[in-house]
Amino acid sequence: MDMVSIIGLVSIVLAGATIAIGSVAPALGEARALAQALRSIAQQPDESNTITRTLFVGLAMIESTAIYCFVISIILIFANPFWNHVIEQAGK
Amino acid sequence: MEVTPDAIVFWQWRFVTINATIVFTWVVMAILVVISWLATRNLSVGPDISRWQNLLETVVGYMRKQIREITQQDPDPYLPFLGTLFLFISVSNLLAIVPAYNPPTGSITTTGALAVCVFFAVPIFGIMQQGLRGYFQHYIKPTPIMFPFHVVSELSRTLALAVRLFGNIMSGTIIVGILISIVPLVVPLVMQALGLLIGQIQAYIFAVLATVYIASATRTTFGKSEAHSET
């Protein structure tokens, strides 16, 4: 295989693997956080405002790891720097 | 399909480039300024107020309440900065339902600029409240060994703010774009509605996180007089 095919193959496979693995762990974490928050609201309905706000901020923090993985896989597919470099080299 | 609105160039002269991000930022700014100007032109007191004044009073009052709850301080010094952040991000995400509009928050340059604003606002508010000495002392608490960790956490949370907003809005745009090429009927509509919800949540989260960072820099000790004034 030439250079372009190898880079294309590795990029596509790794983009899929990144988003697959990278979304499992945040999903588990968010599920735990949500379950705990629902339990807390059921126990103390008066504090639901504070709990909901803290829950949203916490979910955003957890979700940012999944977003990092998503951004990396998007870079691998749409704006791959190595791919562009090899194409440029071949054009010369 | 473009990944970012930066790639859509309307006008170019040498190194000056007017792309979709800049144009739609101007549009959002104009909408905010014109609506605020029209609504505050003739303010009145009493039960007989105009609808637009009622709207703005609700928005500003709710933001003041939220800031007071999070910082446990008087919200007035923080309201202009944090309120502007929230309104700008919220309106620019909400306008995504308008055809031919690309949200400027879907570009890493816009979100990076907003995150850098927060990065500089935190020490400015901290020094205003506690003085130079009081603010920089919290870098060496509890021990001077913690100094590099404080610096790294400030840098990494700035990066996280920028990438979180960018990733969420860009993913909404791209998912709708991909779905339109696969199932052009009904399904993209559902994802677009979800994208609107995500946009509002992200605007709220960006503003709340900025508030939390500023609160942690301005609050010297817990349980002082301002904490009691709330209860």
Q: In this structure, which amino acid lies at residue A64?
A: S
Q: In this structure, which amino acid lies at residue B114?
A: L
- Determine the pLDDT at residue A15: 92
- Cβ neighbours of B201 in A, within 8 Å: 56, 60
CB count in 10 Å sphere of residue B207: 25
Return the ∠ at Cα B52 (arms to B47 and B54), rounded to 5°.
Answer: 40
Which residues are within 8 A (CB) of B50 and not within 5 positions of it... i.e. 6 or more apart? Answer: B39, B42, B44
C-alpha span between A22 and A18 (Å, rounded): 6
- Determine the pLDDT at residue B229: 40
Question: What are the residue ranges spanned by the domains of chain B?
Answer: 5-230
Q: Which residue of B has its CA nearest to A75?
A: B3
- Determine the pLDDT at residue B62: 92
Q: What is residue B74's three-state secondary structure? A: coil
Q: What is residue B10's three-state secondary structure? A: strand
Q: Write down the H helix ranges in B45-146.
A: 51-71, 79-94, 108-137
- Cβ neighbours of A57 in B, within 8 Å: 205, 208-209, 212
Nearest CA of chain A to the CA of B68: how many Å? 13
- Determine the pLDDT at residue B28: 93
Residue-level pLDDT, tens digit, chain A, 92 residues: 788 888 889 999 999 999 999 999 999 999 999 999 999 999 999 988 888 888 888 888 888 888 888 888 888 888 888 888 888 887 77
Nearest CA of chain B to the CA of A53: how many Å? 9
β-bridge pairing B9-13 and B16-19: antiparallel
Q: Whose CA is closest to A18, among A62, A74, A64, A59?
A: A74
Q: What's the ipTM?
A: 0.70
The whole model's pTM is what? 0.82
C-alpha dihedral (A55, B187, A79, B101), degrees to nearest 10? -90
Residue ranges for chain B with pLDDT beneath 50: 222-231
Domains identified in chain A and CATH numbers: 9-86 (1.20.20.10)
- Determine the pLDDT at residue B2: 65
Cα–Cα separations (whole angstroms), residue A40 to A53, A63, B185: 13, 21, 41
Contact B121, B216 (CB under 8 A): no
Question: CA B135 from chain center: how many Å?
Answer: 24
CB < 8 Å from B in window 24-53 of A: 49-50, 53
* Mutation for testing the B interface, residue in A47, A63, A72, A80 having most B CBs under 10 Å: A63
Q: Whose CA is closest to A70, among B168, B173, B203, B215?
A: B168
Nearest CA of chain A to the CA of B48: how many Å? 31
- Determine the pLDDT at residue B26: 92
